[in-house]
Amino acid sequence: MAEMREWQNHRGLVLGSVKGFDLIECEKCKFKHIVPIPTPVELEAVYRQEYYSAEKPLYLERVREDLEWWNLVYSERYDTFEDLLPPHRRRILDVGSGPGFFLLHGKQRGWQTLGIEPSAQAAAHSRELGLEIVEDFLTEQTAKQLGTFDVVHMSEVLEHIADPKEMLQIARSLLAPEGLVCVVVPNDYNPFQYTLRTVCGYEPWWVAPPHHINYFDFDSLSRLLTISGFKVVLREATFPIDVFLLMGDNYVGNDALGRQCHAKRKVLERNLSEAGMTDLKRRLYQAFASIGIGREVQIIAQKE
Ligand SMILES: [Zn+2]
């Protein structure tokens, strides 16, 4: 029997417990998150020094290895921004800009770019690429020195943040009228994962405290954007990589197999791109989004 858990202003059914944290379906926040929520001081230590060296040691190497594919992903995102914005509006802020390749792609197609990134290693790497980076967390305080933007991009950020609503409000304050926010987060507790748990005996491997605090899906992220003063204009999934698990390739904890599955997905997407089928692929992934499928939730929303 699931029990209720209350912690500070949060309250909800406990869906599971990992590493001393309870994961709740929070009735106050209307999305799933762990409790207790780590403090800003605890999170600061993790992301300034440890994250890319301890938690993601292979990350930079892999991004470089996958760069051709990443650039396909990035070009679709910039295409969408350029479709939605008039041609003179090309200022972008990347929050949690990591190694900088997303901004580099934008710079090369004429965007005015700025990154904000707390990891010393990732910021240094970005500067080697010739990018301007503020080495810090995005807070109400640090936001004041950044300026105004037409797009605020946050990929793989909101799941790590103690107060994602506050983060979206800060993003909103940085946007010019009708500016866009692009948010990418894992699509957790999705129907494929549900199947894997109930039929195939999988544990919820995607629950990863303290790094992942929040667990979104298309609807809960859309709702959070709406109450934060945005109008959702595009919901698009990324490839549902968990389909490999459903087909019997258990890559959980098996890095080599995980890379093989990822390589197949890259082949699929490259083939469609080379055939001029990017538009069809995107409509397929938008259809996935409409039924809650996909490994990541990607939402573009406009400031109201
Ligand atoms: Zn809550």
pLDDT at 158: 98
Taking the centre of ligand 1 as the mean of its atom positions, its distance from the CA of residue 34, in whole angstroms, is 8
CA of 25 to the centre of ligand 1 (A): 8
Q: How far apart are CA 175 and CA 110, in angstroms?
A: 19
Q: pLDDT tens-digit profile of 66-91?
A: 999 999 999 999 999 999 999 999 99
Report how far ligand 1's centroid is from the alpha carbon of 212 (Å).
14
Structure tokens belonging to residue 217 = 């899906």
The ranges of the chain with pLDDT < 70 are 1, 50-57
Read off the pTM: 0.96
Distance 303 CA to ligand 1 centre (A): 24
pLDDT on residue 108? 98
Ligand 1 centre distance from Cα of residue 11 (Å): 6
Distance 114 CA to ligand 1 centre (A): 31
What pLDDT, on the 0 to 100 scale, is given for residue 150?
98
Gap from CA of 8 to ligand 1 centroid (Å):
9
Q: How many CB atoms lie within 10 A of CB 28?
A: 12
Centre of ligand 1 from the C-alpha of residue 186, in Å: 18
- The pLDDT score that the predictor gives to residue 111 is 98
Alpha-helical (H) ranges within the chain are: 40-45, 59-65, 67-84, 101-108, 120-128, 140-143, 164-173, 191-200, 218-227, 243-246, 255-274, 278-290
12: part of which helix (H) or strand (E)?
strand 10-18
- How far does the centroid of ligand 1 lie from the alpha carbon of residue 220, in Å? 12
Model pLDDT, residue 1: 63
Q: Are 114 and 134 in contact (CB under 8 A)?
A: yes
The DSSP secondary structure of 144-194, one letter per residue, reads: TTT--EEEEEEES-GGG-S-HHHHHHHHHHTEEEEEEEEEEEEBTT-HHHH
% of the chain residues with pLDDT over 70: 97
Amino acid at the residue 190 = N
Q: What are the tens digits of pLDDT across the range 172-202?
A: 999 999 999 999 999 999 999 999 999 999 9
Extract the tokens encoding 100: 């900088």
Q: Give the three-class secondary structure for 234.
A: strand
- CB atoms < 10 A from the CB of 50, how many? 12
CA–CA separation, 262 vs 259, rounded Å?
5
Residue 287 and residue 291: Cα distance in Å, rounded?
7
Q: How far apart are CA 273 and CA 205, in angstroms?
A: 31
Quote the ligand 1 centre to 297 CA distance (angstroms). 20
Q: Please tell me the predicted confidence (pLDDT) of residue 154.
A: 98
Q: What is the pLDDT of residue 167?
A: 98
Residue 58 tokens read as 């292979």
Distance, CA 37 to ligand 1 centroid (Å)? 9
216 CA to centre of ligand 1 in angstroms: 12
Q: Tokens in use for 41?
A: 């001081």
